Structure 1
Amino acid sequence: MLDVRTNVQATPAGRYHVSLAVDDNEIREAQRLRYKVFAEEMGAHLASVLPGHDIDLYDPFCDHLLVRELASGEVVGTYRILPPEAAKRVGSYYSEQEFDLARLGFLRPRMAELGRSCVHPAHRSGAVIARLWMGLADYMTRYGYETIVGCASVGMADGGHIAASVHRQLAARHLAPIEWRVTPRTRLPVESLDDGRNAALPPLIKGYTRLGAMICGEPAWDPDFNTADLLMLLPMAQLNRSYARRLIV
């Protein structure tokens, strides 16, 4: 596993740092944070072998980015990264449970997948996400991966109207070319849910698009998390570097 601690700068306020988990104990910290956010806060139905933890079959194959608050030592943000070699060993990317990725086949040898992004509710100022992206940028550069892919979720507590609006707005300005389109396995009927009003884009999705990410088509419904998931793709060659510098430096 890659240790990125030596590349991290403390933020002026909060003093966070980012690293990759180096052992099972650190991975358990990430899994406890994920459980707190996804199950306790969002009400997701998680099938886990360890109470109070979000664990699935992909976790042992992933690298786990952690943002830790230095003052308390607590893990307050996490991403997991499934590199292409590990995706081959486990048999698929996580997002293939929700989407047919056949058209992305030619990208797979250098395509890393992001997932399970979450930040502790007391630390959602933006600094934690900035540190996660610092770690991710270092990871992608060191290993020479060329494409980032992953699901971005929109809550369905309102029945899906916000998700439909978010999809419409993104499709108008940030839709991937046809050769990068995917098909959802359980399609969200956006045409019947869109009431024409413009919902605010979730901050994480807005950040992705500012970096240069695109959506790869219509959203899928994830019944376990009760979210509409959009597959987002970011070729590193198309990264908006001026925005990235502001975000991760």
Structure 2
Amino acid sequence: MQQHLIQADVRASSGKLVLSMASTPEELREVQRLRYKVFIETMGLTALASDDGLDSDEFDEHCDHLIVRDSNTLKVVGTYRLLSAARAHKLGRVYSENEFDLSRLNNVRNRIVEAGRACIHPDYRGGAVILLLWSGLAEYMRRERCDFLAGCASISLADGGHNAVAVYNALSVKHMAPVEYRVTPHLPFPYTKLEPAQTMQVPPLLKGYMRSGAWICGEPAWDPDFESADLFLLMPLANLDARYARHYGVDGQ
């Protein structure tokens, strides 16, 4: 785990919330406990339950972890996992390759930061936490000299997948990536075989990506462990909308 890539001079706060980078094993465990609470307990994914109450995998030790902490309670209430291009090169892969063939992106791999495991405590979902996380992400990308953010956005299949179909059908019309950035799911979600929901609900994280200029890079993958349809997204920093650049700390040009 890399440490101190966000220094004290770029720490941000909003009221009682403070942004930093996890720098100790205990802070990483705090991150993993929050992810467990949100992904396994709150979402009811009992198949992923563990005795230690931690959501962890082999990527955690190679990634940096943005954290937002409530300075009153000292609890970690938000986190984002970041894999730099250098660390991805050393590993030989990124997390998203568990679900997608990314071979068309080989020529830009050294310019990509992969973000994942975005997680916010249910009591802190008013918007301030995600803005802090995104400001830290923008700073991290500047430090790493990377031009693209990549990652997966999940759509729950709790309704049988009908909302996922509606979301993909609607968003892919306006936000599909240029053909040279397209990826292919290893396990495709069979969206053509399901009727779309009449009322569409776009997950907040995915909505934020779309508003910030991200591309959908192909058809959705099916993640049976997390019971979701996942979209692989690529966001050029140059596409950041000016209204978001104010919050994220980049100029969006």
Bucket of the pairwise TM-score, normalised by the shorter protein: over 0.9
> Quick check: 1:10 aligned with 2:13?
yes
> Quick check: 1:55 aligned with 2:56?
yes
SS state of the match for residue 152, structure 1? strand
> Hey, what does 2:32 align to over in structure 1?
31
> Hey, what does 1:96 align to over in structure 2?
97
Q: Normalization by structure 2: what TM-score?
A: 0.92
SS state of the match for residue 25, structure 1? helix
Whether contact under 8 Å (1:174, 1:213) holds in the other structure is yes
> Hey, what does 2:157 align to over in structure 1?
156
CA distance 1:196–1:158, shift in 2 (3 Å): closer
Q: Give the whole-Å Cα distance in 2 for the aligned partners of 1:143 and 1:80.
A: 15
RMSD of the TM alignment (CA)?
1.7
> Quick check: 1:126 aligned with 2:152?
no
1:1-249 to 2 correspondences below 5 Å: 1=3, 2-12=5-15, 15-44=16-45, 45-46=47-48, 51-195=52-196, 197-246=198-247
Q: Normalization by structure 1: what TM-score?
A: 0.94
CA distance 1:164–1:56, shift in 2 (3 Å): same
Deviation at 1:3, TM superposition (A): 2.8
Q: Give the whole-Å Cα distance in 2 for the aligned partners of 1:244 and 1:144.
A: 17
Whether contact under 8 Å (1:66, 1:132) holds in the other structure is yes
Deviation at 1:192, TM superposition (A): 1.5
Q: Give the whole-Å Cα distance in 1 for the aligned partners of 2:107 and 2:31.
A: 32
Q: Which portions of structure 1, spanning 4 or more consecutive aligned residues, are displaced by more than 6 angstroms?
A: none
Whether contact under 8 Å (2:184, 2:218) holds in the other structure is yes
Which stretches in structure 1 are left out of the alignment for 5+ residues? none
Cα offsets for 1:124-145 (capped at 9, x unmatched): 0011000000110111112211
Q: Give the whole-Å Cα distance in 2 for the aligned partners of 1:179 and 1:111.
A: 15
Bigger drift between 23-32 and 194-203 goes to 194-203
SS state of the match for residue 224, structure 1? coil
Q: Give the whole-Å Cα distance in 2 for the aligned partners of 1:145 and 1:47.
A: 35
SS state of the match for residue 48, structure 2? coil
Whether contact under 8 Å (2:164, 2:196) holds in the other structure is no
Whether contact under 8 Å (1:4, 1:18) holds in the other structure is no
Q: Give the whole-Å Cα distance in 2 for the aligned partners of 1:43 and 1:5.
A: 37
CA distance 1:89–1:246, shift in 2 (3 Å): closer
* Identical columns (%): 50
Equivalent position amino acid for 2:103 in 1: A
| Number of matched pairs | 246
Q: Give the whole-Å Cα distance in 2 for the aligned partners of 1:176 and 1:198.
A: 25
Q: Give the whole-Å Cα distance in 2 for the aligned partners of 1:116 and 1:106.
A: 25
Whether contact under 8 Å (2:136, 2:248) holds in the other structure is no
